[in-house]
Structure 1
C-alpha cells in the first residue's frame, strides 16, 4: 500500500473525547433540572439521537441542517422525552448546553500525534461537524488543521459517498490518495467503498468502556494503530 497524500480525520470519538466532555458540561444542568440523572448516561442518550437526526437530512425528508442546529434539536427532544419542558429553561441556557459539543478536549495522544502527523501529510477534518463548530472547538482545545472539511462542504452527512468524495475533490486528490483516520469501523467501511485508504485508531473508552456499536463493520484496514503516536510510527516505518 502506497502512502496517502493527505489524512482526513473523523473528529467525535477519534480526536475528541465527546462522552466525558458532554457529561462534565451537563452535570450542573442535570443537578438543577434532572437530579439523580447520571451525566454519562445522559451523554449516551443524547449521542444516540445523532444518527436519526442526520438520517432525516441524508434521506431527503428534510433539507440539510448544520450539526449545531441538530444538536439543539436533539437536546430539546431528549429533555422532552424525560418530561422536562424546555419552556421553563432559558433559551441561552439551552443553547449553551447544545454548544457543549464545541468545547471538547482531545484524547491525550492527539496534540503531539497530530502535530507529528502534520509534518508528514496535510491533515484535515472529515467530520459531520459544521465549520463554526469546528473553529470554536479548535480555539478551545488548541488543535490545528490544514483545512476543515466534511459535511458542510459536501452538504451531506457521512456515511453518504458525497461526504467522502467531496472532501477528496476539495483537496484535488483522487480518493485513493486520501486516507480517513477514524475509530469507527462503519465510517471506515463507507470511506473504503468510495476508494479512500483507511486507518483505524483504537478508542476503547469512547463509550466509557462499553462495546462500540459498529463492531460488525470491522475489516482488515490498510493502516491500524492504538493511538495517533503509534500511527506516526506506522507511517514512518512504511
Structure 2
C-alpha cells in the first residue's frame, strides 16, 4: 500500500544533517586538527602510505560524533556552543595535538556557516504549502538564528523547539514528548498527525518509534552511507520508516504530486 503523505498536518524536522550539510560543515571547521597530527601517528588514516580524503573525513567525523554524544549525555543542560567547544578539546586531546581556547570558541560559533544542501530551501518552501513545519533540533537559539538568517534564509518554520528549550538532547525521549505536547497545545495537532523527517536513524527515528510517532520519513543523504546517523542493518528492529527519499527535494516533489492527485479526485 502506498504511503499517504497527505494525511499529516505537521512535519517535524531534524535540521543538521537533514536540511544542513553538517558533515561538510563540521569537517571543514575541525579538519585543521588533522594538519597538526604527525603522519607517523597511529591515531589517524594519515599514517597510511596513501591516505584518502574520504578516510580522513570519516575518521574525524566519527571522533566528533563519539565525543558529542558523550558530552550531550553528561551535560544535557549545556547549550550547544559549549558542547561544541568541548568536543574540539576532547578530539584534540585524543589526537594528542595542540589547540587554543580561541579555536574552540571559533569552532563552537561555526554552526551558522555550515551549508544547506542545495535542494533544502526550495523543498521547504514547497512543503510549507501543505503542512506546519516544526524544528526539533540539538542546538541552541543563538546558533539556530544564525542558520535561519544564513543558509536557511527564505525558510519559514511555524515552531522551533531546541535542546536549549527542552533541557536535553536527542535521542532522549523527552525531546520527542516535548514535540508532541507542544504541537498539540499550539496547533491542536494530534500525535498521529505529525510526520517526523530526518536523516539520523540513531538520534531521530529510533526515539520517534519509541514514543509512538507515525513511521517517519528517512532522508538518505549520501545514499544512506553517512558517517553520522547509524545504519539500517544495525537498527532495523528499533526503527520504523514509512517512506525513504534520497533528498528533501525528492520528498517535496512527492508531496506536491500527492496533494495534486488528491485535489483531482475531489
The structure 2 residue matched to 1:175, chosen from 178, 181, 191, is 191
Contact 1:223–1:234 at 8 Å: present in 2 too?
Answer: no
After TM superposition, list the pairs within 5 Å mapping 1:17-56 onto structure 2. Answer: 17-28=21-32, 30-31=34-35, 33-34=36-37, 40=57, 41-56=59-74
- Structure 1 residue 157 corresponds to structure 2 residue 169: yes
- Which residue pairs with 2:253 in the alignment? 233
- Which residue pairs with 2:262 in the alignment? none
TM-score by length of 1: 0.83
- Which residue pairs with 1:184 in the alignment? 200
Contact 1:125–1:148 at 8 Å: present in 2 too?
Answer: yes
Report the Cα distance in structure 2 between the residues aligned to 1:212 and 1:139, rounded to whole angstroms.
26
Question: Larger radius of gyration, structure 1 or 2?
Answer: 2
**Cα–Cα, structure 1 residues 122 and 211, in superposed 2: closer, same or farther, change >3 Å?**
closer
Q: How far is the alpha carbon of 1:75 from its aligned partner?
A: 0.8
Q: Deviations over 1:153-193 (max 9, x none)?
A: 22121122210121222222322221110112232131122
- Structure 1 residue 8 corresponds to structure 2 residue 12: yes
- Which residue pairs with 1:147 in the alignment? 159
**Cα–Cα, structure 1 residues 234 and 193, in superposed 2: closer, same or farther, change >3 Å?**
farther
Runs of 4+ in structure 1 over 6 Å off: none
Report the Cα distance in structure 2 between the residues aligned to 1:179 and 1:82, rounded to whole angstroms.
40
- Which residue pairs with 2:231 in the alignment? 214
Q: How far is the alpha carbon of 1:199 from its aligned partner?
A: 1.1
Structure 1: runs of 5 or more not aligned: 58-62
- Partner of 1:71, secondary structure, is helix
TM-score by length of 2: 0.75
Report the Cα distance in structure 2 between the residues aligned to 1:18 and 1:97, rounded to whole angstroms.
13
Q: Please give the root-mean-square deviation of Cα atoms over the aligned residues, in Å.
A: 2.6
Structure 2: runs of 5 or more not aligned: 40-45, 47-52, 260-266
